[in-house]
Amino acid sequence: MADLWQEAMDHAVAVARKAGEIVRHAVHNDMKVLCKSSSVDLVTKTDQKVEQLIIDSVKEKFPKHGFIGEESVAAGEPCVLSDNPTWIVDPVDGTTNFVHGAVFVLLFQLEFGVVYSCIEDKMYTARRGKGAFCNGDPLQVSDQKEINQSIIATEFGSNRDPEVVDVIFSNMRKILCLPVHGIRGAGSAAINMCMVASGCVEAYYEIGIHCWDIAAAAVIVEEAGGVLMDFEGGPMDLMSRRIIAANNKTIAERIVNEIKAYPAIRDDAPL
């Protein structure tokens, strides 16, 4: 019997490679940078072109599948999961890195995750119940249980409201003073999560991200043996704009005890 999920995942890998070519080409040419919600929330013509490429190619092959795409939502499309299989697509995660010279592409379908770090040519893939891989090699989270021997990844995001910035700094201060070995940030939620899956860092947390920043890598973290948690300790809610991804429950709960969230609008809030 045909394995439709495998077919969809193989298609995602193929289209990610094509998207990677476009992104790599754009890095070496002029790129037109536009602003979205603020002067630090960036989008490029490449984000839009790559998202269209992905949507067109998936629609042709799987006409009944739904989409949530970062740039389509920015253009007014609803951000809701339909009853049909839904692809959650971030054409360039780490747009600010891209504008400044380093790039990542990611895409996703709820049953599997594909994150392509195209400059490094690292293809991260995972399918529910079948493990996580980078360029075909299995991924496994770190077995560290002591927070003070851990490295934590986080980001500042693009919200520059002084109260929000205060919460971000206060959270980082608490984590640093545990103390932890260090705090890192790759400039891409997806890559931070792939670092958790690879065992390079023990955990990643962020408030203000969107479902398309984390959806693909969420499957990759879980399939590498990691856990996803909400800031209040329950299961991660894809639409809640906050996430803790960790190597194990002990580290995730330790982070829950230290950090607090700020009110964020849900991704699926009515327009």
Task: Please tell me whether residue 188 binds ligand IPD under the rule CB under 6 A.
Answer: yes
**Residues 32, 45 contacting (CB under 8 angstroms):** yes
Tell me which residues in 43-72 interact with ligand IPD (CB under 6 A). 70
Task: Please tell me whether residue 187 binds ligand IPD under the rule CB under 6 A.
Answer: yes
Q: Cα–Cα–Cα angle for 159, 163, 167, nearest 5°?
A: 85
**Residues 204, 195 contacting (CB under 8 angstroms):** yes
Instruction: Give min distance, CB of 209 to ligand IPD, in A.
Output: 4
Helix (H) or strand (E) holding 132: strand 132-134
Closer CB to ligand IPD, 202 or 206, in the complex: 206
**Only segment of 27-35, 55-63, 186-194, 254-262 that touches ligand IPD (CB under 6 A):** 186-194
> Where is the binding site for Mg(2+), in residues?
70, 90, 93, 213
Report cis status (omega within 30 of 0) of the bond before 78.
Answer: no
Task: Please tell me whether residue 155 binds ligand IPD under the rule CB under 6 A.
Answer: yes
Nearest residue to the partner ligand IPD, using Cβ? 155
Instruction: Give min distance, CB of 2 to ligand IPD, in A.
Output: 33
CB atoms within 10 A of CB 52: 14
Angle at which helix 162-176 crosses helix 249-258, to 10 degrees, equals: 130
Instruction: Give min distance, CB of 159 to ligand IPD, in A.
Output: 8
At 88, is the secondary structure helix, strand, or coil?
strand
Task: Please tell me whether residue 171 binds ligand IPD under the rule CB under 6 A.
Answer: no
Q: Tokens representing 255?
A: 């982070």
Q: What is the DSSP string of 135-158?
A: TTEE--------GGG-EEEE---S
Closer CB to ligand IPD, 107 or 144, in the complex: 107
Instruction: Give min distance, CB of 197 to ligand IPD, in A.
Output: 16
Closer CB to ligand IPD, 53 or 145, in the complex: 53
Task: Please tell me whether residue 213 binds ligand IPD under the rule CB under 6 A.
Answer: yes
Q: Would you give the binding string for ligand IPD spanning residues 7-46, x where CB under 6 A is met?
A: ----------------------------------------
Burial annotation 96-105 (CB, 10 A radius, 16+ → b, else e): bbbbeebbbb
Choose, by CB under 6 A, the member of 12, 44, 54, 90 that binds ligand IPD: 90
Q: Would you give the binding string for ligand IPD spanning residues 91-110, x where CB under 6 A is met?
A: --xxx---------------
Choose, by CB under 6 A, the member of 110, 196, 209, 211 that binds ligand IPD: 209
Which residue type does 62 have?
F
Compute CA distances 267 → 24, 177, 213, whole Å.
29, 32, 11
At 67, is the secondary structure helix, strand, or coil?
strand
C-alpha–C-alpha distance, residues 249 and 227, integer Å: 6
Interface contacts to ligand IPD, rule CB under 6 A: 70, 90, 93-95, 155, 157-158, 187-189, 206, 208-209, 213
